[in-house]
Amino acid sequence: MPELSTLLAYGLISLAMVLTPGPNMIYLISRSICQGRMAGLISLGGVALGFVVYMLCAAFGITALLLAVPYAYDALRLGGALYLLYLAWQAVKPGGRSPFQVRDLPKDSPRKLFMMGFATNMLNPKIAVMYLSLLPQFINPVDHGSVLAQSIVLGFTQIIISVSVNALIAVMAGSIATFLASRPVWQIVQRWLMGTVLAGLAVRMALEWRR
């Protein structure tokens, strides 16, 4: 099982990433604003299922890779650091667009909302890279037992954090959009705060020696 400090560190990265605008956040906010909170929460159910599928695939794949290739851990760690830097740049680059500036969407049935949420998450490159590049660097194949068990525990930690934050965003999307629309400075502060956190985590990850 991962140590508490490892879970907290991975939880921090998961929180920073879920707060960074991406396809999942934009879709959930759009649905909540255009079709109501329940539509946003139904869509979130599909997103959550996508997380579980990705997590299980990554857990079994990472287990096989780390056991077969000696330097796979370092390659994935550096890849994850580069991706965090990319996300940091996306957060602070000039002309960045707020996820609360959304387009109108047609009203859909609960089944279609669920499936669209699932498809949006499965086609989200941020989630794929997070599981394949970020998750492995928190796994200690020597001191903490089964790589598969560690992968699943860390994966469910990310899922719980992501689903909880996205549920709150879906419920409060309308209020948040109104608040930010009248306070553009807050949008800038949010973008730079997330960019700084992600860049700091990327540097820490890149400089960390293999455990």
Rounded percentage of the chain residues whose pLDDT exceeds 70: 67
Torsion 103-106-111-116 (CA) sign: negative
Give the mean pLDDT of the chain.
77
Residue 132: inside a domain, yes or no?
A: yes
Residue 180: inside a domain, yes or no?
A: yes
Report the domain count for the chain: 1
Residue 21: inside a domain, yes or no?
A: yes
- Per DSSP (E only), the strands in 26-180 are none
What does the pLDDT look like over 71-125, one tens digit per residue? 665 666 676 677 667 767 876 777 655 555 555 667 889 999 999 889 888 877 6
> Which 3 state secondary structure label does DSSP give 54?
helix
Query: Which tokens belong to 197?
Result: 């956190």
Residue 107: inside a domain, yes or no?
A: yes
Residue 211: inside a domain, yes or no?
A: no
Please tell me which residue, 210 or 35, carries the higher pLDDT value.
Answer: 35
Residue 80: inside a domain, yes or no?
A: yes
- Which structural domain range is residue 31 located in? 4-140+147-206
Query: What is d(CA 69, CA 205) in angstroms, rounded to the nearest whole number?
Result: 20
Residue 58: inside a domain, yes or no?
A: yes
Closest CA to 65 of 125, 149, 141, 3: 141
What does the pLDDT look like over 152-179, one tens digit per residue? 888 899 899 999 999 998 888 767 766 6
Q: Which residues, including other chains, have CB under 8 Å from residue 167's CB and lie 6 or more apart?
A: 41, 44
Residue 85: inside a domain, yes or no?
A: yes
Query: Which tokens belong to 48?
Result: 């959550």
